[in-house]
């Protein structure tokens, strides 16, 4: 059904809100920003055509508050809602309530969001669509079951015993060989009983040196699903991605074809619409991939796919939401560049402890082949209540080495952030590390190399140094000579 969109409420803050508003401006569609009390002077508020205060700092009173969001849309005469990523982006109830209110929801249908949000159901659906999932069995009570399963399915050690009700590492034991099996199962069951009062166990193959590879796709209401190729998001800290690239340096042509068409098959099976991502775990040693989950939203790292394809994914989401057909087919998509993204989080680069406060200096990288998505400006505050991501830095080049070189220039030579701690030095160390440059890494890269990465932190330039000198001049001018003088 064809619709028009006259004004969009962007139900988010920071980097995603600013990103969406850029495309809206391209389309000359006015936007409404929402803000919590500490975000009153935030960057996204001034990017928008109108802004509505939606509550106090805690997300539950503001950015997670559905009533206030919908009220803000009506108040500002917006007729559509884009959720960005995070907050309410994968909340089926919110999508439904937006639609029930007569507004256009820019994203996948509530049903799809709900189904893919249930991890067990998602795995079942994936198996139905013939998508490989991590081999495993459920309802395990004795080791004979495990041995039989391993024999039948040709699974070898290591394996992972997990409590079905589990989480937080409790009731989870990695098993390296047959000898440890009985003891490991007993331990996992005992832990699970204590922790969750439920000793239901499941067993999965343990993927060592796993890499995180995902496929970006877009789909319309008419059953067309087109993939926009893959992204590699293996460099993570505490299970959160911090460096992404497209394409993946580890896939060959055949595997790329296979993983992308598998993703399309799954999305067709579930009747997907709008933009979405299918995430896989890739086993480097066996070169097999396994389904992890579907992200039913715009993803943080969508920008690098835009850089290699030349498309605007947010724009496509708007078109699909207005009931338009995808204007291209699979054969029209020809990625022809390499792109890299780093996430600038306001964190201590040595221990990831959050850092917040005022950005006293911000110099944004420029020059050929650089794209910056920022949620802040010089003088802006980073409040302690929300995600630590404040800027995405993307670079592109004819090949991977080019993209890395441009990233080195952008991170090392151009970007300056003062007033808060950021991941900048860590990111620079990573992209200069021989393991990263060779494309050989797993999701454990950062923990394995942390000391070495930290030892690479240092680089001075005279632009930074002169500001230190100026600080001295300021202090002496204000306070007079030092005591010993």
Partner 1 sequence: MDVRAAMEDKGLVRPGMSPKEIVGRVRSLDGVCFTSTGMRDAGQSDYKNRHRLYDLKTLAPYYDRMGLFSAECHGGARWHVGVMNRRESPFEELSILRELMPGVLLQTLIRETNLWGYRPYPKNVIEYVISKVDIDVWRCFSFLNDVRNMRTVAEVVMKRGRLFEPTISFTAADWTTNDYYLSVVRDIVGLCAGTDEIVLCIKDMAGVGDITRIGNLIDAVKQKYPEMVIQYHRHVTDGLAAPALLAAARAGAKIFDVEEDSLVRFYGQPPMLGIQAYFEESGIPVHLDRKEAEAAVQNVRQWISHYEWAESPFKGYDHTVTLHKMPGGAFPSSFEQADKGEFLHLMPAILKVMSLYNRIVKYFDVTPGSQITWVTCSGIINKYAKEKGDAGVRHVTGLLARFIEEKKQDFESMERQEQEELLMLFRNAPGDFKNLLLGNYGKLPVGWPPEWVYKSAFGNEWDERIKERKEQSPLEILKDDNIEKLRADLSESIDREPAEEEFILYLMHPKDALEMIVFRDKYGEAPLVLPTDVWREGLKKPGDTVDFELWGKPYSIELLSIGAEHEGVIHVVMRVNNKTRVYTVETPRAKKVATRMAKGANEVGAPINGNIWRIGNPERGALKVGDIVHKGEEVANLEAMKMENAISAPFDGQIAEVCAKLNDTVQEGQLLFVIEKA
Contact status: 471 vs partner 1 (CB under 8 A): yes
Q: Residue 38 CB, nearest distance to partner 1 (Å)?
A: 11
Interface residue with partner 1 among 196, 288, 385, 402 (CB under 8 A) is 385
| Distance from C-alpha of 343 to C-alpha of 366, rounded to nearest angstrom | 17
Closest to partner 1 by CB, 222 vs 457, is 457
How many residues would you count in the chain?
485
Interface residue with partner 1 among 144, 353, 398, 439 (CB under 8 A) is 353
Per DSSP, the residues of 329-363 read: -GGG----SEEEEEEEESB-TTT--B--EE--EEE
Element (H, E) at 254: helix 253-269
Burial status of residue 320 (CB atoms within 10 A of its CB: 0-12, 13-18, 19 or more): buried
Q: Residue 388 CB, nearest distance to partner 1 (Å)?
A: 4
Interface residue with partner 1 among 335, 354, 412, 435 (CB under 8 A) is 354
Element (H, E) at 126: helix 119-128
Contact status: 469 vs partner 1 (CB under 8 A): yes
Contact status: 253 vs partner 1 (CB under 8 A): no
Rg (CA), the chain: 24
Q: Residue 454 CB, nearest distance to partner 1 (Å)?
A: 8
Q: Which are the contacts of 179, defined by CB distance < 8 A and separation ≥ 6?
A: none
> Which among 127, 105, 111 has a CA at the least distance from the CA of 271?
111
Contact status: 472 vs partner 1 (CB under 8 A): yes
Residue with token string 């890395």:
404
Contact status: 468 vs partner 1 (CB under 8 A): yes
> Which among 239, 459, 426, 457 has a CA at the least distance from the CA of 349?
426
Interface residue with partner 1 among 100, 111, 399, 475 (CB under 8 A) is 475
Contact status: 484 vs partner 1 (CB under 8 A): yes
| Distance from C-alpha of 103 to C-alpha of 412, rounded to nearest angstrom | 45
Query: Which structure tokens are listed for 127?
Result: 């198996």
Contact status: 285 vs partner 1 (CB under 8 A): no
Of residues 428 through 467, those in contact with partner 1 by CB under 8 A are: 455, 457-458, 462, 464-467
CA dihedral defined by 319, 325, 330, 333, rounded to 10 degrees? -40
Closest to partner 1 by CB, 175 vs 420, is 420
Q: Residue 15 CB, nearest distance to partner 1 (Å)?
A: 14
SS3 (DSSP) at 93 = helix
Select which of 189, 237, 297, 343 is catalytic: 297
| Distance from C-alpha of 432 to C-alpha of 414, rounded to nearest angstrom | 16
Interface residue with partner 1 among 386, 436, 441, 445 (CB under 8 A) is 386
Contact status: 366 vs partner 1 (CB under 8 A): no
- Cβ distance 75 to 101 under 8 Å? no
Interface residue with partner 1 among 41, 182, 366, 476 (CB under 8 A) is 476
Closest to partner 1 by CB, 109 vs 345, is 345
Contact status: 356 vs partner 1 (CB under 8 A): yes
Contact status: 479 vs partner 1 (CB under 8 A): yes
Of residues 36 through 95, those in contact with partner 1 by CB under 8 A are: 58-59, 86
Closest to partner 1 by CB, 186 vs 466, is 466
Closest to partner 1 by CB, 185 vs 446, is 446
Contact status: 425 vs partner 1 (CB under 8 A): no
- Cβ distance 160 to 172 under 8 Å? yes
Contact status: 387 vs partner 1 (CB under 8 A): yes
Query: Which structure tokens are listed for 310?
Result: 């030349």
Query: Which structure tokens are listed for 148?
Result: 């039989």
Q: Residue 40 CB, nearest distance to partner 1 (Å)?
A: 18
Alpha helices in 157-252, H assignment, sequence order: 181-196
Contact status: 347 vs partner 1 (CB under 8 A): yes
Whether 361 is a known active-site residue: answer: no
Interhelix angle 313-321/302-309, rounded to 10 degrees, is: 100
Where do contacts with partner 1 occur on this chain (CB under 8 A)?
A: 58-59, 86, 345-347, 350-351, 353-356, 384-388, 455, 457-458, 462, 464-482, 484-485
**Residues annotated catalytic, as ranges:** 297
């Amino acid at each position: 059904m064809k619709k028009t969109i006259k004004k969009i409420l962007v139900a988010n803050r920071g980097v995603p809100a600013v990103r969406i508003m850029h495309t809206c401006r391209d389309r000359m569609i006015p936007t409404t920003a929402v803000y919590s009390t500490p975000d009153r002077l935030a960057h996204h508020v001034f990017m928008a055509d109108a802004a509505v205060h939606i509550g106090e700092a805690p997300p539950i009173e503001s950015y997670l508050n559905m009533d206030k969001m919908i009220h803000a849309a009506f108040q500002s005469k917006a007729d559509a809602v884009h959720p960005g990523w995070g907050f309410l982006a994968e909340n089926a109830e919110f999508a439904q309530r937006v639609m029930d209110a007569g507004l256009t929801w820019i994203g996948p249908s509530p049903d799809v969001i709900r189904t893919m949000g249930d991890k067990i159901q998602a795995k079942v659906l994936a198996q139905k669509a013939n998508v490989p999932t991590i081999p495993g069995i459920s309802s395990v009570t004795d080791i004979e079951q495990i041995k039989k399963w391993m024999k039948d399915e040709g699974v070898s050690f290591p394996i992972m015993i997990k409590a079905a009700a589990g989480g937080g590492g409790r009731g989870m034991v990695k098993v390296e060989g047959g000898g440890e099996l009985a003891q490991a199962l007993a331990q996992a069951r005992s832990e699970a009983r204590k922790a969750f009062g439920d000793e239901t166990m499941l067993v999965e193959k343990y993927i060592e040196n796993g890499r995180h590879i995902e496929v970006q796709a877009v789909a319309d209401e008419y059953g067309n699903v087109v993939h926009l190729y893959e992204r590699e998001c293996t460099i993570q800290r505490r299970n959160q991605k911090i460096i992404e690239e497209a394409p993946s340096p580890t896939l060959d042509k055949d595997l790329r074809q296979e993983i992308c068409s598998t993703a399309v098959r799954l999305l067709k099976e579930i009747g997907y619409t709008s933009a979405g991502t299918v995430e896989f775990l890739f086993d480097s040693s066996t070169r097999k991939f396994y389904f992890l989950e579907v992200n039913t939203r715009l993803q943080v790292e969508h920008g690098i796919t835009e850089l290699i394809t030349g498309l605007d994914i947010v724009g496509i989401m708007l078109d699909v939401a207005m009931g338009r057909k995808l204007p291209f087919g699979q054969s029209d998509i020809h990625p022809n560049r390499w792109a890299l993204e780093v996430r600038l989080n306001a964190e201590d680069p040595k221990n990831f402890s959050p850092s917040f406060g005022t950005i006293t200096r911000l110099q944004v990288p420029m020059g050929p082949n650089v794209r910056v998505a920022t949620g802040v400006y010089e003088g802006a505050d980073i409040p302690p209540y929300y995600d630590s991501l404040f800027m995405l830095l993307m670079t592109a080049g004819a090949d991977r080495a080019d993209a890395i070189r441009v990233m080195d220039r952008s991170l090392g030579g151009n970007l300056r952030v003062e007033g808060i701690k950021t991941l900048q030095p860590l990111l620079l160390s990573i992209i200069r590390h021989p393991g990263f440059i060779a494309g050989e890494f797993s999701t454990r890269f950062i923990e394995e190399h942390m000391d070495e990465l930290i030892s690479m932190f240092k680089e001075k330039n005279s632009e930074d140094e002169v500001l230190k000198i100026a600080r001295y001049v300021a202090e002496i001018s204000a306070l007079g000579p030092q005591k010993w003088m």
